[in-house]
Amino acid sequence: MKQTPSTSVDTGAARYRDTPTPGLSRRELLQLAGCSGIGLLAPGLLASCGTGGFSYDATIASARTAIRKALADTDTPAISVALLDRDRLIWAEAFGVIDKVTQTAPTPETLFCIGSCSKMIATVAVMILVERGLIDLDRPLAAYLSDFRMASPEYTQITVRMLLSHSSGFPGTDYRGIFSHQPRAGYAAQVMQTLATARLKHAPGEMSVYCNDGFTMVEPLLQALSGKSYAQFVADEILTPLGMPSSRFALAPFAPGSFAPDFSGDAKQPQEYTLAYASGGLYSTPTEMGRLARMLLSGGQLDGKRLLQRESIAEMARDQTLTQPLRPVILPDGYGLGWDGVRAGGLAAVGVTAWHKNGGTSVYGSDFFVLPDEGLALMISGTSTGYGSGTLAELILLHALRERGRIAALPSALPATPPPPASASDAQLAALAGVYAHYQGLLRLQIEADRTVSLAKYSAGTWAPASAFLKLRSDGTFASDNSAVAYWASPAQGEDYLVARLPYGLGHYTFAVTFAQKLAPKAPLSAAWQARLGRNWLAVNEPPDSLGISAASPIFTLAAAPDLPGYVLAKAGPIDKQDQIADASGSDALARMCLKIPMVKGRDLDDVLIETRNGEEWVRLGSSVFRPAHSVPALGLGSHAVAIGPEGFAEWRQLPATGWLTLSGSLAWRLYDQDFAPVTSGSGNGASALPGHGAGAYLLLYGAANSSIDVTLS
């Protein structure tokens, strides 16, 4: 989707020395130039006045090389980074381009959406109200929000702490319309409405599994207690006191050139709006995020202004998972409040504590690191999620630690060879073998005749080999002879899990993650579910400005789960469902989300609900609704009036393959060919030639509730 900047571009054209952490305007940057105070140096100069006399010259040189390589290797248009040493911005630099036609480079003041790094702002906001006595972290959310409810009665046990530690039990993320090309209010209200009919996927507090909706619920919580909108509260209570004037939520279009855009080829794409503000919607710069880091490093205050007490920051950095009952493997990082981990593995491997948060949207990828004992912090943002922001951040920080003398050398990669083999018993092999699932697919571990184990992934309707000749090793794991990836079975709370241990960072440490959950076969699918397999349903309530409808297929479909009777696999392009498993054995109308996997592999689940509307079977996942494709009305030549119903759902129509289409009275429309590949789209009234190939076409029409759209085919 994104292209790399031209190799002729000087990808280090815009930079400031002595800059990491976001937040200063150009005037402030100039005022701070020199080695006093925060110590920002002019572009192109090397710092010789770092804390303790460290210049970080070698760190910066190696970082520039690594970032430029990441730009070239991953088709990432722009990256911005900032490094902080206690109260000083050591280095900030922006790389790449924000306009491929004019070859305009970003600057350290260029805005990037920081995605889920926004959760740290949400956490600070909650802790401010905790200190004011307005919130008790361990009091139920329902005590503060009288309108909050769910289908599972245990929802009354969900506390504010559980929102911030991903342990509420919410299904995950309401992806309907979460990413948009237009500002749009009301997403948090949509989430609360969706939760009102949703089940919990695990008991509140039972485990931590990444959950965006938990942070989105911080928005109505803060508004109820402060009387301000979430965006206004954050601006008044955090961004302004910290001196972060550029940081903001995308409530309106930004000035051209002020932010790093996405690209299709050389063409800029419209601005991305992440509408889950508390969960992932803040635009900022690495230098301004550095001011947040400085506050955290200095025990809650910055430039004489106190935002939080030290105790609040310490609580944010406490591992919230230690007492949770469902932990198939010890979480090496451990979720904090807001933090993805309070012991980042790449730094923990060299004896250094680091708090870290990753963030990604449909366009942007970021990582935020704070090393409390070392006084270091780093923020990196880019216009893709594939350039390795976390690995780059760890690499830069490891170089800084080496240059300071905190570590003697960069850590070496661990041996790629596994421990020696051992003899596997029948019980050990049987414990590992089976069909497993995570939130985006199936795995099968199978015992072979030579008593090794093979691993296959379900893809495109078939089992595709992934790993072979997995042997039991002396450490109790299964691994092939030529791979550092190891697997083992781990029972927990009556379920069986597959744990994977993988190399990370510079290859200098490994990370064990609960990778998938073993599922037992159920009774075969009923005739009702069998009849639905392979059919297409079409999205009707994805907003017209949503990236989910503009960048993905509009189709929802169901398939049988191979080797697992009683289950179905759901795919839904607009809301990013890929072979998500659900248990259809207990009802002809409801296939239940059935996974309980901590951390990330059990995230973003939904029940599949069949609804009967006007004698047709429609499908609902969370807040997303899909109508059957087979019954879409067909239009012939001439003029037609298409009515939009009281719910405002979009209407679909089948069209001929050739001819001319004219529309009047629509808010937006999309034209697809017979295979639902996009042909063209528009807003308001419009006209277009039909595809001109195939047996037909499909038209998606948006209009106001209870309105009529005129469609003319000629």
Higher per-residue pLDDT: 531 or 9 = 531
Beta-bridge partner residues of 498 = 489, 516
Among candidate residues 487, 518, 549, the one where a domain is terminated: 518
pLDDT at 308 exceeding the cut of 80: yes
Q: At what angle do helices 57-74 and 389-404 cross, to 10 degrees?
A: 160
Please report which confidence band the pLDDT of residue 460 belongs to, taking 50, 70 and 90 as the band edges: confident
- pLDDT confidence of residue 53: 58
Question: Which residue range(s) make up the domain with 480?
Answer: 426-518
Is there a domain that residue 26 lies in? no
User: What is the model's pLDDT at position 312?
Assistant: 98
Provide the β-strand partners of residue 668: 683, 702
Mean pLDDT taken over the chain: 91
275 & 352 share domain? yes
Residue with tokens 């920080």: 397
Helices 118-131 and 286-297 meet at what angle, rounded to 10?
40
**Predicted confidence (pLDDT) at residue 22 exceeds the cutoff of 80:** no
**DSSP H or E run through 429:** helix 426-432
The answer to whether residue 166 sits within a structural domain is no
| Percentage of the chain exceeding pLDDT 90 | 89
Ramachandran angles phi, psi of 36, nearest 5°: -100, 160
Stretch 256-266: mean pLDDT, rounded?
96
For residue 554, is it within any domain?
yes
Polymer length in residues for the chain: 714
Distance CA 429, CA 647 (A): 54
State yes or no: pLDDT of 46 exceeds 50. Answer: no
Report the percentage of the chain scoring pLDDT > 70: 93
Mean of pLDDT values over 662-686: 96
Instruction: Write the pLDDT tens digit of every residue in 309-356.
Output: 999 999 999 999 999 999 998 877 889 999 999 999 999 999 999 999
pTM score, whole prediction = 0.91
Q: 390: helix, coil or strand?
A: helix
Please report where in the chains the tokens 């999620």 appear, as a residue: 385
Please report the pLDDT score of residue 55 as a whole number.
84
**597/488 same-domain check:** no
Which letter does DSSP use for residue 637 in this model? Answer: S
| pLDDT mean over 525-537 | 98
678: domain CATH number is: 2.60.120.380
Residue 578 within a domain: yes
- Please say if the pLDDT value at position 457 is more than 90: yes
Question: What contacts 126, CB < 8 A, 6 or more positions away?
Answer: 135, 137, 160, 163, 164, 218, 221, 222, 337
Contacts 24+ apart (CB under 8 A), 691-697: 691/657, 691/658, 692/657, 692/658, 693/657, 694/657, 695/657, 696/634, 696/654, 696/655, 696/656, 696/657, 697/654, 697/655, 697/656, 697/657, 697/671, 697/672, 697/673
Is there a single domain that holds both residue 503 and residue 358? no
Residue 355 lies in a domain: yes
- 530 DSSP 8-state letter: H
Per-residue pLDDT band at 416 (split at 50, 70, 90) = confident
Question: For the domain that residue 291 is a member of, what is the CATH number?
Answer: 3.40.710.10
Measured over the CA atoms of residue 164, residue 168, residue 173 and residue 178, the dihedral's sign is: negative
Average pLDDT, integer, range 656-682: 96
The mean pLDDT value for 120-136 works out to: 98
| Domain boundary, last residue among 348, 373, 404 | 404
Secondary structure of residue 454 in the 3-state scheme: strand
Predicted confidence (pLDDT) per residue in 356-367, tens digit: 999 999 999 999
Same domain, residue pair 505 and 534? no
Q: What band does 32 get if pLDDT is binned at 50, 70 and 90? A: very low
Residue 323 and residue 347 in one domain: yes
Q: pLDDT at position 52, please?
A: 52
Among the ranges given (636-640, 671-675, 691-695), the one the predictor scored with the smallest mean pLDDT: 691-695
Residues 388 and 466 in one domain: no
Is 451 part of a structural domain of the chain? yes
User: Is the pLDDT confidence value at 255 over 90?
Assistant: yes
The reply to whether 552 falls in a domain is yes
What are the E-state strand segments in 24-87? Answer: 78-85
More confident residue, 38 or 247: 247
Residues 568 and 460 in one domain: no
* The last residue of a domain, from among 472, 498, 518: 518
> How many domains, the chain?
4
Nearest to residue 433, comparing CAs of 441, 424, 425, 444? Answer: 444
Residue 303 lies in a domain: yes
Is 379 in the same domain as 242?
yes
Residue 171 Cα distances to 435, 605, 638, 666, angstroms = 22, 5, 46, 34
What is the per-residue pLDDT for 713?
A: 97
Q: What is the mean pLDDT of residues 610-629?
A: 97
pLDDT at position 38 over 60 = no
Same domain? For 305 and 378 the reply is: yes
Same domain, 551 and 603: yes
